[in-house]
Structure 1
């Protein structure tokens, strides 16, 4: 599973940015245009609110679970969630958690 989580993390970064890159090429880093496009209709707003709520829940989970279980490098998954998104941050955290589980299993 560890390799699968890492693959999903890479795909979770590459695929969304592949869709976002053409917009950046056309518009640059124009935050007003980005906001207008992101809130253009009720479906866009629905999608953004869904992602924002999922990201907040994921960040709370990563920080809480990461500290509780002493997951190495959990902060990298926090950073990935904040800069790339849930599609990268969640599988990356699961990768770190699974990696630590396997290391602890081998130590016993």
Structure 2
């Protein structure tokens, strides 16, 4: 599973950023435009709210599971969730958890 989690982390970085980076190149750090485009379409609002709730759940899970297992560097999947989204933070945490569990045995 470790390899699958690592692959999913990579896909979670590449796929979303393959769409965001061209937008960023075209528009720059135009935060008002970003917000406008997020809220101008109900489907986009749905997707963003889903991501926000999912990231909050991931943070809670990382803190809870990580402390229970006495894992280190829990800030990494939390930061990855806020920077790259749920598609990066969740598989990265699962990868780190699997590595931690394998080293304990």
**Superposition TM-score tier, normalisation by shorter sequence:** over 0.9
CA positional deviation for 1:72: 2.5
Within 2, Cα distance between the matches of 1:44 and 1:82? Answer: 18
Whole-Å separation in 1 of the counterparts to 2:72 and 2:2: 15
The 5-angstrom pairing of residues 23-102 of structure 1 reads: 23-102=23-102
State the alpha-carbon separation in 2 of the partners of residues 18 and 103 from structure 1: 34
Which residue number corresponds to residue 12 of structure 2? 12
- Kindly indicate whether the alpha-carbon contact (under 8 Å) linking 1:66 and 1:74 is maintained by their aligned counterparts in 2: yes
Which consecutive unaligned segments of at least 5 residues does structure 2 have? none
8 A Cα contact 1:72 1:96, kept in partner: no
Q: Distance in 2 between matches of 1:64 and 1:58?
A: 10
* TM-score, reference length from structure 1: 0.93
In the alignment, structure 1 residue 21 sits paired with structure 2 residue 21: yes
Deviation at 1:28, TM superposition (A): 0.3
Q: Distance in 1 between matches of 2:47 and 2:27?
A: 21
Moved beyond 6 Å, runs of 4+: none
What CA distance in whole angstroms lies between the structure 2 residues aligned with 1:73 and 1:12?
20
Q: CA RMSD in A?
A: 0.9
Q: TM-score, length-normalised on structure 2?
A: 0.95
1:83, distance to aligned residue in structure 2 (A): 0.8
